[in-house]
Structure 1
Amino acid sequence: MERIELDEAMLQGQAEIWRYLYSFADSMALKSAVELRIADIIHSNGGAATLSQIASCINDSLTSPNITTLARIMRLLVRRKIFTIHPPSDGGDPLYDLTHSSRWLLYDSEQTLVPMVLMENHPWQMAPWHYFSQCVKEGGVAFKKAHGCETWDLASGNPDFNKLFNDGLACTSKFITSAILSGYKQGFNSIGSLVDVGGGTGGLISEIVKVYPHIKGVNFDLPHVVSTAPAYNGVSHIGGDMFHAIPNTDAIIMKKP
């Protein structure tokens, strides 16, 4: 009996290793769904679409979409509950529907995680994960080992990475800002000026100033970050290094990425 239990435990342990070994497939399938705008296609089709309808809406001027590969991606994402599938009432092809999860993958939604999905799964961001064992042996920062420089240095010299990184952080600010404004009611009434330290492109401070227009808002971040920030009423963008100096103000706010 003990031998049987040991064998079952060993098989279960092997299954767990296989599960973790291939868990990267989930994030890659998620990224592909975002790049192909599958959630938007289903949404624009009235909330449900067949596989062929989804394929027909994937724009590629050079080749036709490979529906077999698309089916495999959708099968995995259905199993992970990103999408659902059900037979239509007329007996035709199965229909794919959005879920509460895939609604976060809509590009034009006010609350979307699309930029974060693209940022976190980009090769630039994935490469440092391959250096964890070296960090254990030698110390140091995984990102620097992968790219030869710190995150901010790469962003300052690479406009594409700078945009990818800033867009990823900005998208999370939108719904975090709602929580701050609803949970900290009247908390900003007595503040005349407020600086968001490490404020990225200014999404958080701009929403606070919009609700509390008496506040003089300052968005403070590294020069290469604020250089791409849009203009907001009541908000000044100032570039600098928070480890050296912070603009004078009544109060500061810092949001963890």
Structure 2
Amino acid sequence: METEKTSEELVRGQAEIWQHMFSFADSMVLKCAVELRIADIIHSHDGAPMTLSQIASCIDSPSPNIPYLTRIMRLLVRKNIFTVHHPSDGDESLYGLTHVSKWLLHGSDLSLAPMILMQTHPSMMAPLHCLSKCVKEGGIAFEKTHGRQVWDFASQNPEFNNMFNDGMACAARIIARAIMTGYKDGFGCIGSLVDVGGGTGTMVAEIVKSHPHIKATNFDLPHVIATAPLHDGVNHVGGDMFQDIPNADAVFMKVTDFIY
């Protein structure tokens, strides 16, 4: 009996290792769905379920590979990102949105699409191969991979900088709503506020929308501020927070911890 139990545990352990080994595929397929705008395609169809042929016809490609798309959608359905309905009359299967896939919509106030593209970008994924090296030698994985910190890398790569800022902005927009719900009365006594490391100003702009009396400053590195859009009631200032920060009644900081 003990031998059988041990054997079963070993098999379960092996199965779990296989799952962990290929879990990266989940992120890559999610990235694929965002890049192909599958959620947007179904959403633009009044949210009504669509066949693979209909979805494929809306993909920006002269000849999309339907069998490959089928495999992609099979995994996305398995992960409950999309739904599938198989008609009993033999017609094509219909794919629909879920409460999960609605977070993949481009241009939505509550979208994680930019963050997905940022986190799965090759430049962000490559440092993960250096984790064991960092344990052995110390240091930061991103620096070991690219020879500089992520902020310096972004300042020298405009395309990466825009993608990084978009990803951080979409997360800030979501977090801001949670903060405004739970701390909505806490900003009433503040006359001025500086968001240190505020990216393109999304977070502090959301605060000012609800509390227009606040004189707000968005403070970040010059190359970040250079791409920041105008926000009503927000003044953008570039600089180094380790050297000096603008004066204000209160300082706001949203800390993001990157393992790399």
- 2:193 is paired with a residue of what secondary structure? strand
1:43 aligns to what? 43
CA apart distance, 1:3: 1.4
- 1:247 is paired with a residue of what secondary structure? coil
- 1:49 is paired with a residue of what secondary structure? coil
1:88-139 deviation digits (Å, cap 9, x = unpaired): 4865211111111100001122210000000000101000000011111111
C-alpha distance in structure 1 between counterparts of 2:46 and 2:213, whole Å? 43
1:55 aligns to what? 56
- Structure 1 unmatched runs, 5+: none
2:10 aligns to what? 10
1:190 aligns with 2:227: no
CA apart distance, 1:87: 2.7
- 2:84 is paired with a residue of what secondary structure? strand
- 1:149 is paired with a residue of what secondary structure? coil
1:114-193, aligned counterparts within 5 Å?
A: 114-193=113-192
C-alpha distance in structure 1 between counterparts of 2:92 and 2:156, whole Å? 49
Instruction: Kindly provide the amino acid, as one letter, of the partner of residue 32 in structure 1.
Output: C
C-alpha distance in structure 2 between counterparts of 1:194 and 1:176, whole Å? 17
CA apart distance, 1:186: 2.3
- 1:41 is paired with a residue of what secondary structure? helix
Q: Please, which moves more after superposition, 42-51 or 165-174? A: 42-51
C-alpha distance in structure 1 between counterparts of 2:248 and 2:166, whole Å? 27
C-alpha distance in structure 1 between counterparts of 2:159 and 2:66, whole Å? 31
C-alpha distance in structure 2 between counterparts of 1:174 and 1:163, whole Å? 16
C-alpha distance in structure 2 between counterparts of 1:110 and 1:140, whole Å? 36
4+ residue segments displaced more than 3 Å? 88-91
CA apart distance, 1:42: 1.1
CA RMSD of aligned residues (A): 1.2
1:73 aligns with 2:72: yes
Q: Please, which moves more after superposition, 144-153 or 178-187? A: 178-187
1:46-86 deviation digits (Å, cap 9, x = unpaired): 3211111111111114xx01111100010001001111101
1:220 aligns to what? 219
C-alpha distance in structure 2 between counterparts of 1:9 and 1:117, whole Å? 35
C-alpha distance in structure 2 between counterparts of 1:243 and 1:123, whole Å? 29
Instruction: Give the total of aligned pairs.
Output: 255
Distance 1:197 1:11, change over 3 A: same
Q: TM-score, normalised by structure 2?
A: 0.95
C-alpha distance in structure 1 between counterparts of 2:134 and 2:199, whole Å? 28
- 2:206 is paired with a residue of what secondary structure? helix
2:28 aligns to what? 28
- 2:8 is paired with a residue of what secondary structure? helix
C-alpha distance in structure 1 between counterparts of 2:36 and 2:95, whole Å? 15
C-alpha distance in structure 1 between counterparts of 2:66 and 2:72, whole Å? 10
1:80-119, aligned counterparts within 5 Å?
A: 80-88=79-87, 92-119=91-118
C-alpha distance in structure 2 between counterparts of 1:185 and 1:31, whole Å? 34
1:207 aligns to what? 206
Q: TM-score, normalised by structure 1?
A: 0.96
- Structure 2 unmatched runs, 5+: none
Instruction: Kindly provide the amino acid, as one letter, of the partner of residue 19 in structure 1.
Output: Q
Distance 1:89 1:177, change over 3 A: farther
1:18-62 deviation digits (Å, cap 9, x = unpaired): 11111111000000000000001111123211111111111114x
